[in-house]
Amino acid sequence: MKLLAQQRDLQAKIPDIEKCLDIVATLQAKKDSNEALVADFEVSEGIYSRAKIEDAESVCLWLGANVMLQYSCEEATALLQTNLENAKASLEVLVADLQFLRDQVTITQVTTARVYNWDVHQRRVRQATTPKES
């Protein structure tokens, strides 16, 4: 269950990181063209505001645990790219671990069934060889 929860978390995290990378790339493109970017952003749950972003030299990234840091666009891109690669690698390892566990569960179930069938066979052999009392 823990591995499945980690898999769900990573599968939700990867699109968020990719979206952040796209946003930083858009900011860099707008900065190079000296064009203002109009963006709608979420202030609070269900409350949005519109902002006009001009000359974005840096971005603030939410790191979690109530920590937000300001990075230059280049540093943010590098950090997000590293995080994306790490998340994808972790997801691959997690998927392999889950497949291994599924295989082990299947092997255990087959082994248990074989032991049970062997026991049933041994009981039948004992009953056949045991003289019946009349």
Q: Which pLDDT tens digits describe the chain residue by residue (134 residues)?
A: 899 999 999 999 999 999 999 999 988 888 878 788 888 888 888 899 998 888 788 898 988 888 999 999 999 999 999 999 999 999 999 999 999 999 999 999 999 999 999 999 999 999 988 876 65
What is the reported pLDDT for 54? 83
Query: Residue 116: inside a domain, yes or no?
Result: no
Report if residue 36 sits inside a domain: yes
How does DSSP classify residue 103? H
Has residue 12 been placed in a domain?
A: yes
**Does residue 40 lie in a domain region?**
yes
Residue 76 counted as domain residue: yes
CATH code for the domain of 72: 1.10.287.370
Q: Is residue 84 in a domain?
A: yes
Q: Rounded CA gap, 126 and 123, in Å?
A: 5
In which domain, by residue range, is 29 found? 2-99
Count: domains in the chain: 1
Task: Let me know if residue 87 belongs to a domain.
Answer: yes
Q: Is the dihedral of CA 35, 39, 43, 48 positive or negative?
A: positive
Which pLDDT value is given to residue 133? 65
On whether residue 108 sits in a domain, the answer given is: no
Identify each DSSP E strand in the chain by its residue range. 37-44, 47-53, 58-64, 67-72
Query: How much helix, strand and coil, in percent to the nearest 5, is found in the chain?
Result: 65, 20, 15
